[in-house]
Every structure is written in C-alpha cells, then in structure tokens.
C-alpha cells in the first residue's frame, strides 16, 4: 500500500482585504492547510469542507460493504501542495484475459480537491497490465460525482462499486470483439480526426471535402502510437482503443498530468459513444 500523507489538517477560515477588512462568509472563505498555513482554495457560502481523509475512508468503507474482494492495493497521489488528491485501488485477484496473454485488471479511482477544480468522484474502470493503460469505458453510469455541498454516501458508493465490477466482467466480451474487428490505418485516422483530434484551435487543418478541422499535432502523435500498438496487436479496434487509452493516460510531460488525464479520458469515453466509433465497430 502506497499512501502519501493525505490526512494533513485543513480548516475553513475567514478572509480579509489588504487593508484588513473582514470579508463576509457569504462572499467567500478559505480552505487553509494549517500545518503549513497555505491557502488551498477560496469558496463561496454553500461550500462544505470534505477532507481527503473523509473521501478515502468513505471509499474504503464502501469497498468493504460491497464485499467484492479483500485483496487490493491503494495508491494516493497529491498535487498542488495537497490541494488535489487522486486515489487508485487495484485488485490482483480481479483480472480478465480478453485477448490471449493480454490481461486487464479491475480498478477503482477516486478524487477530491480543496481548490474547487475537482468535485468528489469515484470511478470504476480497468487497467491493461501490459502497458498500464487505463481502460476507459464509454458509460458514465460507472462514475459518481458530487459537489462539496452535502455528505458522502457510503451505500451509494458501495452500489457503484458492485455495478462497476459487474460491468468489468461483461467488458471482457466487448474487448474481445474489438480485437476481432479489423480496421486499417485509414479508418483509424478518420476516427481520430472526427473525435479525439476534432478542434477549432490553432495548429489545425481542414480537408476540402470536410468542414471539420482537426488538431494536426495530436493526430500525428496518435498515429505514431497506433503504429506501435498495431505492430503488437494487429490492425483492429483493440489496437485503436489502446492507442486512445495510452494517449489519455501517458501525460507525464504536462504541468498537471492528473488534470490532463481526466480531460483526455473523458474524450476517450466520448469517442466510444460517437457515430464514427459505432460505424467502425459494426
């Protein structure tokens, strides 16, 4: 078990102007890390403090209540002086093999923040063990969010975990289907243009026959990743899927990799709900 010290003391404190005028609570108050006297966030009147340890304990209480396994490992990652927490729970005894010698492990992720960037969240998905890609699912039903305005619901989290595990077992057949569905580089290129790389930002190009622009730089990066996976797995939807999840979960070069991974995993989930994905899968 690897746990960074997420249980540091925090409290809500009033804030002042530079001239020491007290600001009313309905206009704002601060989350202060009292062991270092750092301000981790400023919030309005309705905000209720939910500590990292509260979330950690609620998830683990829910895990015990769900009774899916006693064999698990927890890792906690903190960022921005402890303002944000990401937890990951892996289960060595909950593994499927959708493709021969290609193993995928059940995973629970949970999040909390004091700076308002993240709501409390618990998500059930999977981790491909060969290269530690997260296996993002397209269905938001296996993710639970809540704002910092009311108490944590352990029973609801427990049900979420049970549903997530049930879906994990069913996903095995879906992943196997992806490995059996052939596609070529033109198909995959088109898929990424229309989904992960669709953009109106700078560094985009538009094809004459297609008004939708796409991010050329990201498209080239994804193409390189797909080449690696297609050499390993063949030209199929499983390789395309692992290309997308690799892109989403390998974000170490960014200033805030956890933020970037969350953003990209949402895009991968959206890709799997797209018409383009369904066209290639049918």
Q: 270 and 193: one domain?
A: yes
**Do 161 and 219 fall into the same domain?**
no
Report yes or no: 95 and 105 within 8 Å, Cβ to Cβ.
yes
- Residue 251 Cα distances to 35, 53, 117, angstroms: 31, 26, 18
- The residue out of 130, 153, 176 marking a domain boundary is 176
Do residues 128 and 188 both lie within one domain?
A: no
Is there a contact between 63 and 108 (Cβ–Cβ < 8 Å)? yes
Q: Which pLDDT score, from 0 to 100, does residue 170 have?
A: 85
Q: What is the mean pLDDT of each run of 10 residues along the chain (282 residues)?
A: 76 93 91 96 92 95 95 93 94 88 88 92 81 52 67 89 89 89 95 88 48 83 95 93 91 87 88 94 90
For CA atoms 188, 273, 146, 167, give the dihedral sign: negative
> 56 and 38: one domain?
no
Q: What is the pLDDT of residue 130?
A: 54
pLDDT value of position 135: 58
Query: How many structural domains compose the chain?
Result: 3
82, two tokens? 């402890």
Residue whose pair of structure tokens reads 């966030």 in the numeric block: 41
Q: Are residues 122 and 229 in the same domain?
A: no
Q: Which of 157, 176, 195 is the last residue of a domain?
A: 176
% of the chain beyond a pLDDT of 90: 57
- My answer on whether 197 and 259 are in the same domain is yes
Per-residue model confidence as pLDDT tens digits over 135-161:
555 444 356 667 787 788 899 899 989
- Asked whether the beta carbons of 154 and 58 are under 8 A apart, the reply is yes
One domain, residues 71 and 164: yes
In which element (H, E) is residue 191 found?
helix 185-194
pTM: 0.79
Examine the domain organization and report whether 59 and 166 are in the same domain: yes
The C-alpha atoms of residue 112 and residue 126 are separated, in whole angstroms, by 20
pLDDT at res. 123: 87
pLDDT in tens, 171-226: 888 889 999 999 999 999 999 999 999 875 544 444 445 555 789 999 999 999 99
Give residue 155's Cα distance to chain centre: 22
Is there a single domain that holds both residue 82 and residue 169? Answer: yes
Question: CA 182, CA 72: separation in Å to the nearest integer?
Answer: 35
The residues near 139 (Cβ < 8 Å, ≥ 6 apart) are: 167, 269
Q: Does residue 104 sit in helix, strand or coil?
A: strand
Q: Which of 158, 176, 194 is the last residue of a domain?
A: 176
35 and 72 assigned to the same domain? no
For residues 56 and 131, state if they share a domain: yes
Let me know: does 167 contact 124? Beta carbons within 8 Å: yes
- Domain extent for 29: 2-43
269 and 206 in one domain?
yes
């Amino acid at each position: 078990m690897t746990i960074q010290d997420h249980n540091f003391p925090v409290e809500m404190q009033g804030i002042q102007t530079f001239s020491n005028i007290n600001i009313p609570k309905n206009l704002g108050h601060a989350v202060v890390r009292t062991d270092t006297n750092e301000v981790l966030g400023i919030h309005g009147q309705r905000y209720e403090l939910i500590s990292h340890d509260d979330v950690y304990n609620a998830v683990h209480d829910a895990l015990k209540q769900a009774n899916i396994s006693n064999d698990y490992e927890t890792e906690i990652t903190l960022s921005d002086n402890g303002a944000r927490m990401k937890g990951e729970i892996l289960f060595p005894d909950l593994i499927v093999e959708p493709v021969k010698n290609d193993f995928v492990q059940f995973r629970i992720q949970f999040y909390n923040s004091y700076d308002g960037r993240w709501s409390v969240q618990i998500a059930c998905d999977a981790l491909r063990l060969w290269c530690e890609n997260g296996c993002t699912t397209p269905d938001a039903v296996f993710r639970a969010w809540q704002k910092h305005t009311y108490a944590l619901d352990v029973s609801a989290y427990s049900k979420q975990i049970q549903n997530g595990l049930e879906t994990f077992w069913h996903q095995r057949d879906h992943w196997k289907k992806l490995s059996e569905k052939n596609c070529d580089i033109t198909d995959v290129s088109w898929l990424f243009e229309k989904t992960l790389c669709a953009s109106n930002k700078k560094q985009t190009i538009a094809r004459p026959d297609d008004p939708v622009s796409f991010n050329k730089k990201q498209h080239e990066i994804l193409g390189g990743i797909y080449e690696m996976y297609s050499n390993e797995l063949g030209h199929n939807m499983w390789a395309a899927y692992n290309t997308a999840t690799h892109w989403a979960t390998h974000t170490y070069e960014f200033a805030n990799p956890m933020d970037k991974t969350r953003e990209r995993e949402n895009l991968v989930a959206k890709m799997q709900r797209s018409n383009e994905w369904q066209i290639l899968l049918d």
